Amino acid sequence: MARQHQTSHGNDDAAVSATATPTPVVPSATPSTAQIIVELLEMLNAHTDREHGLTAAQISERLGISVKTVRTHLKTLQQLKPFGRNVGRLERKDIEHAESADPSVGWYIEPILDTAQMRLLSDGALISRSDGEYLRDLIATIYSFAGRSGQLRGLQQLDTPRNYNTEFLSNIELLNDAIDHERSITFHYCTYDVDGNLVPRRNRDGTIRRYEADPYHLMYKNDKYYLICHMRQYDRLSYLHVERFRDLAMNEADHTLSRPLDSFSDHPGTPFDVTRHMNERPYPMSGPAVPIRMRLNGPLEPIYDWFDEADVTETGDRQYEVKVTANETSVLWWALQYSDSGSIEILEPQSLRDRLRDNGRRLVETYGAAHAVTPPDAAQHGTNPSPIA
């Protein structure tokens, strides 16, 4: 993509833009200087980026002011860098290697977001499973920060999930405040009923159960938005789905946590490393991270897609010995999802091998020949299906 270059002071009126000239408007009265500058910035923000400019003549026609006035204000903006954004002029040489199909010379303002940043933020918003209308507004706002390259094109239909929690967005704001001010929280935590609706968990006597926790950190993991927190009834960290919170309330006093996050550090006296902690858990699970050794026959994607800091040693043709530090239950789940390939064998610890064996035994008991299910059509025609191994 073409980047910003030193601007020249040549005449840009003769340059021909590859884009359509914005529709001119006839002002009802002579605009003030402030009005001209505001409209000029709005035009540059909406119709230009690093590969698309507008000539002074085009801007003059659109704003209904002289080319000389346009140039004067553009040069002033170029020096001032409004809102920390560069204002400059694209020449032919600046767009020779442009990625856009219709680059154009002329004046432009540097967008707040480039195309990659815009996509990353908007796609990140899409995985939140939030309210459809809210997401459309949010993504439109993100696109507006990308200048001309942020024009909404082919935005898919965004439907609100059927079991969407209408408190989700306000809960995020409340949790963020609670974390910032180190305030404890109380809430109802939901599960699903048979129809897929969120319903609060209850005590054995049927009353709605209210929880109290110390909130520490919000993080996306595996397309879920988690609150890392300390539930008061446990001596460990918990990882709760934010979309399942209802009736969330925050303590009115600051610094009301029962214990700080650093008290859960694996190394007493050192700060708790949230990023490393979550990287050691392919799935958010409580409990310590332990050394795990495994053998892999095949491609390395299952390793590096999940473990950033894996220690991998090549032992043969597409054969590897892998060492990671991770939560044992998380690796149990991870290993089971790749079990159909037969390419991964856990070597250590023995406790994890035992748990995998026990899970395998349960699978055999559930899906073995003794529990084979006769398909309806087979029963109707009197045929015997092959047993499921």
Confidence of residue 2 (pLDDT cuts 50, 70, 90): very low
Confidence of residue 151 (pLDDT cuts 50, 70, 90): low
CA distance 219 to 223: 10
Question: Where along the chain do its domains lie?
Answer: 33-109, 115-150, 168-264, 273-389
Confidence of residue 157 (pLDDT cuts 50, 70, 90): low
Task: Tell me the Cα Rg of the chain.
Answer: 30
pLDDT of residue 387: 36
Confidence of residue 156 (pLDDT cuts 50, 70, 90): low
Burial of 104 (0-12, 13-18, 19+ CB in 10 A): buried
- H or E element that contains 279: helix 274-279
pLDDT of residue 9: 43
Contacts by 332-339, CB closer than 8 A, 24 or more apart: 332/356, 332/359, 333/282, 333/283, 333/285, 334/282, 334/283, 334/306, 335/294, 338/302
pLDDT average, residue stretch 207-223 = 96
**Count of beta carbons in the 10 Å neighbourhood of residue 255:** 10
311 is written with which tokens?
A: 């220690």
Burial of 206 (0-12, 13-18, 19+ CB in 10 A): exposed
Confidence of residue 388 (pLDDT cuts 50, 70, 90): very low
* Beta pairing class for 319-327 and 245-250: unpaired
CA distance 281 to 271: 18
Whether the predicted model's global pTM rises above the 0.85 cut: no
Confidence of residue 119 (pLDDT cuts 50, 70, 90): confident
Query: Cα dihedral angle (150, 154, 160, 165), rounded to 10 degrees?
Result: -30
CA distance 249 to 241: 16
Give the least confident one: 101-110, 139-148, 314-323.
Answer: 139-148
Note the pLDDT tens digit of each residue in 71-110: 999 999 999 999 999 999 999 999 999 888 899 999 999 9
SS (H, E, C) 247-262: EEEECCCCCCCCCCHH
Instruction: Write out the CATH class of domain 33-109.
Output: mainly alpha
pLDDT of residue 164: 87
| Residue 377 Cα distances to 6, 234, 373, 380, angstroms | 75, 51, 12, 5
Residues in the chain: 389
* 154 has pLDDT over 70: no
CA distance 64 to 70: 10
**Count of beta carbons in the 10 Å neighbourhood of residue 89:** 24
Backbone φ/ψ region at 322: left (φ over 0), alpha (ψ -120 to 50), beta: beta
